[in-house]
Structure 1
Amino acid sequence: MGLALDELSVAIDGKRLVRDLSLDVGAGRIVGLVGPNGSGKSTALKCVYRALRPTSGVVRVGVDDLTRLPLRHSARIVAAMAQDSAVDLDFTVEEVVALGRAPHLRGNQALSGRELELCARTMARLDLTRLARRGVLTLSGGERQRVLLARALVQEPQILVLDEPTNHLDVRHQIELLSLLRGSGLTVLVVLHDLNLAAAACDRIGVLSQGELVASGTPEEVLTTELIDEVFGVKATVVGHPLTGDPQLLYALAPTPTPTPTPTF
């Protein structure tokens, strides 16, 4: 199932945070949103998982206007891992992961054998089996991040929305996460700050600046030295990855001015 943002705008307290954003995420494709802090990336995602209602424009899942679907129905289609996701109660890892089945259950209905197997299999994929009975409040930030992703995957969505999913993850788990997304077959809209990870993981990238989409295309089309300088204010050299050919950015620190010596008399 595809996802489309059609001239989406969000204004809060009179300030326009997202302006006329149009973006298509084809079925089974991974599209990344990148941009400086405050450019509207997380705000746009909140409209997709219904934490915010757009001021104007439409979010479509397939041919349906997302806001017209019952919440339970949309929760079966769209799963999200928000940047500010938190678990305040000390549930165990396996209890938090099982919460992903909530849109499919009624009342206190118990998980079926298939659902229990789904939870176990998903925890294994994300290297969580050994933590299954640990309280989530005892986990590191990276471990909690993987638990929340497992909860989203257990939802069995058709569309996955991820806001900075690699936060707190070590290099190994970053690579495993992106490989998992690549092989999931899901339609994925993901916000990433690391442009090199975005180039490796995404089929297409949209670049936001001050709430507006300023570029959209393949990583090769979008990640240019000119755009990085214009949008991020950073000098970078673009090279091909020696193994994959994906564009990779090499950044240069601005030279530190040499202080002028104070004359002595």
Structure 2
Amino acid sequence: MVLSLRDLTVEAAGRTLVGRLNIEVSAGSVVGVVGPNGSGKSTALRCVYRAMRPTSGAVLLDGTDLASLKLRDSARSIAALTQESHTELDFTVEEVVALGRTPHAHGNQPLTARERELCGQAMDRLDVTHLADRSVLTLSGGERQRVLVARALVQEPRLLVLDEPTNHLDVRHQVELLSFLRGSGLTVLTALHDLNLAAQVCDRIAVLDTGCLVASGAPAEVLTPELVRKVFGVDADVVPHPRTGIPQLLYDLAPIAPVPADTPTDALSEGPHA
């Protein structure tokens, strides 16, 4: 499935959150959207999974305007993991994962044998099978995140939209999830904060700043010291990974001024107005 954002614009409360954004995600590729906080990443993704309606412009799936599709039909093609994903009901992990079949369900019919197998495979893939009978309310943030990714996979989408999918995940599960995305064959649009992870998993990277696209291309083309300094306000050296050659950023942290030895302890907790 090919995803195209064409002159996508979102305005709210007199502000332009996203302005004339153009992004193309070719079939089976992984495109990352990066940028500082408030740059419009999540807003753009919300338009793709239809949590928001753009003010102007269009989101196209294989050339078809998303707005012309019924919500149920688009849900059969698009699965989303959002930053706001949470479950307040006391469902088991197995029940939450099975909810991914909702767009394909007819009435209250039980899952078929194939669908149960699909749920089992997704839980295995995300390493949550051992949690199947646990309440989602008892899970850690990382465990819950993996459950929600499993639910998205059970939806059998052709397009995955992931907003910060590595949130709460430990290093092992970050690597496993991103490796899976690379080899899944699905079309993936994902927002990421970690530029090094973006460089590893993404075929192309789109950089947003104040709602506008400022750069787009392969990681090696986009992630330059000049761009990182201009957009993110930090200095970084870009070096090739010793094994893969993928660009990696080494950030230059400004030195922190030492606290004088004779500073009273209580003064350290007082604000600058003290």
SS at match of 2:23: strand
Q: Which amino acid aligns with 1:36?
A: P
Q: How does 1:138-217 map to 2 (within 5 A)?
A: 138-217=138-217
- TM-score where L is the length of structure 2: 0.94
Offset at residue 256 of structure 1 (A): 3.0
CA distance in 2, matches of 1:173, 1:256: 32
Q: 2 CA distance for matches of 1:15 and 1:41? A: 15
Q: Give the 5 Å matches for 1:45-124.
A: 45-124=45-124
Amino acid at match of 1:112: T
Partner of 2:266: none
| 2:9 partner SS | strand
Cα distance in 2 between the residues matched to 1:81 and 1:49: 9
Q: Distance in 2 between matches of 1:236 and 1:41?
A: 22
Instruction: Quote the residue 2:30 is aligned against.
Output: 30
Contiguous gaps of at least 5 residues in structure 2: 261-274
Gap change, CA 1:258 and 1:97, over 3 Å in 2: closer
- Compute the displacement of 1:257 (Å): 4.7
Map Cα deviations across residues 97-136 of structure 1 (whole Å, 9 max, x no partner). 0000000002211111000000001100110110000000
Separation in 1, partners of 2:183, 2:93: 24
- The answer for unaligned runs of 5 or more in structure 1 is 261-265
Instruction: Report the alpha carbon displacement of residue 255 of structure 1 after superposing the two structures with TM.
Output: 2.5
Identity fraction in percent: 68
Q: Residue type of the partner of 1:132? A: A
- Which residue does 1:19 correspond to in 2? 19
- Report the counterpart of residue 263 of structure 1 in structure 2: none
Alpha-carbon offset, residue 259 of structure 1:
8.1
Partner secondary structure for residue 76 of structure 2: helix
CA shift, 1:220, in A, is 0.2
Query: CA offsets, 1:206-225, max 9 Å, x none?
Result: 00000000000000000000
Amino acid at match of 2:200: A
The two structures, once aligned, show a CA RMSD in angstroms of 1.4
**Structure 2 residue aligned with 1:43:** 43
Tell me the matched-pair count. 262
Deviation at 1:232, TM superposition (A): 0.3
